[in-house]
Amino acid sequence: MEAVGLVADVASFSCLLLRAAKAEDFDAVWEVIAEMDRRSLPLDAYIISIMMQLSRRTSNTAQGLRALTVLDRPGVWPCGDSVAFHTALDACIFRRDRARLERAIGAYDHSQVQASVRTYGLLIKACSILRRTSRCQEFWRDMVEVRRLPPNDICLGCMIDALVEGHLVDDALALFQEWKAHVKCDTILYSTLIKGFASAGDADRAMAIYRDMQSSGVRMNHIAYTALINAHARKGLMKRAEALFEDMEKDGCKPNAITYSSFIRGHCVRGDLSAALRCFQRMLDGGFSADCVIFNTLLDGCVQAANFELADEVLEEMKAHEVEPSNYTWSILIKMWSKRGELDRAFEVLRA
C-alpha cells in the first residue's frame, strides 16, 4: 500500500486490528497498536470498540485485562459514541474492573450524553459492582421518572439484581411487582429474587416467589432451585428441601455440587450425620468432586455431635481425595482436639 504512495490511516489500521482481534492473534493486535502510536494516530471509537470486544470475548484473562489498558489513555473514554461506550462498560463489568468503572461513571457524569435504556442498564450494573446502590437508584429514577423511558427486561433485571446485592430485597420485590405487568419477567429475574430471599434466610418468601413463578408459567433453573433448597436446609427443614429436590429433577434441572453441599449442611444442622454421609456418597456417585467446603461441613457436623470416630474417618476421606485443608479446617481440628481433651494435639495443629 505504502509502496505505491498511499498513506495508511486510522481506517486502514482498524481493518488490520479487527482481523487480528477476531483471530485472537495478540502479538499482531499489539503490533498494530504500537504502529499507530509510532505514527501518532489516535485510537478512535471504532478501535476502542474492537479492543473492548476482544477483552470481553477472550478466555485469556491476562490479555483480556491488558486490552482494557487502552482506556487509560488521555481523553479515550468514548462517551460521545454509544457503541464504544457500551462495549467499554460491558468489558469492564465482565472483568469486574472497579477502578475503570469508577472512571467510566465519572466520564459519563461530565458528558452531555443522553442515555438510552441500554446505557442505563449498564450504568446500573456498573454501580452495583461498585457497591453504590443509591447511585443505581438515581439512574433508575432518572430513566423512569425524569426521562420517561420504560425499562426492558434486561434493565429491570439489572436494577433488581443491584437491589438484591445491596440487601434491599423488599425494594427489589416492590419494583418487580410494579413492573411485572409491563415487562416480560424471565427465569433469571425470578431467580434473582429467590436468591435474595434465600440469602436473607427468608425461606417462606423465597417459596412465595417460586409459587408465583410456577403460576406464571416461567421455568425454574438449577440456580434458583439450589437457592431454595439452601434456604430450607440452613434451617434444617429437610422434608421441604427433599420435596424441592424432587421438583428439580422433574423439571429436568440437574443438581450441582452446591446443591449437594446444601443438603449435607442441612443434615448436619439437624445432627443427622448418617443422612449427611448418604448425601455425600450420592454426590460422589453423581460424578461430582468433594471440595474443602463440603469436607469442612461434614467435619464440623461430626465435632458438633461429638462423633469423633466419624470425624477421623472424614479426615481420612479428605486425605484420600487429596483435598488441602483450609484455615477453617484447622480451626475445626483445634476445636475437635480440645473437646477430646487432647490439648497437646490441639497445640500441634495450632503450631502447624
Q: Give me the DSSP letters along 102-122.
A: HHHHHHHHTS-----HHHHHH
Helix 257-269 with 238-250: angle, nearest 10 deg: 160
CA distances (Å), 209 to each of 58, 220, 221, 247, 346, in order? 36, 11, 13, 15, 46
pLDDT in tens, the chain (352 residues): 454 444 578 999 999 999 999 999 999 999 999 999 999 999 999 999 999 999 999 999 999 999 999 999 987 776 778 899 999 999 999 999 999 999 999 999 988 888 999 999 999 999 999 999 999 999 999 999 999 999 999 999 999 999 999 999 999 999 999 999 999 999 999 999 999 998 898 999 999 999 999 999 998 888 889 989 988 988 889 999 999 999 998 999 988 888 888 889 899 888 899 999 999 998 898 888 888 989 999 999 999 989 989 988 998 998 998 988 888 988 898 888 888 887 676 566 555 5
- pLDDT at residue 1, as a whole number: 45
Per DSSP, the chain holds a count of helices (H) and strands (E) of 20, 0
Domain spans in the chain, listed from the N-terminal domain onward: 8-100, 114-183, 186-288, 291-352
| pLDDT at site 108 | 92
Residues whose CB falls within 8 Å of the CB of residue 241, separated by 6 or more in sequence, listed in order:
229, 232, 233, 262, 263, 266
Q: Which fold has domain 186-288?
A: 1.25.40
Considering the entire predicted model, what is its pTM? Answer: 0.82
Write down the pLDDT at residue 258.
87
DSSP conformational letter for 254: P
| Cell digits of residue 325 | 485443608
Please enumerate in sequence order all residues whose Cβ is within 8 A of that of 298, keeping only pairs 6 or more positions apart, or say none.
Answer: 264, 268, 273, 276, 277, 280, 314
C-alpha–C-alpha distance, residues 49 and 18, integer Å: 10
CA distance 292 to 296: 6
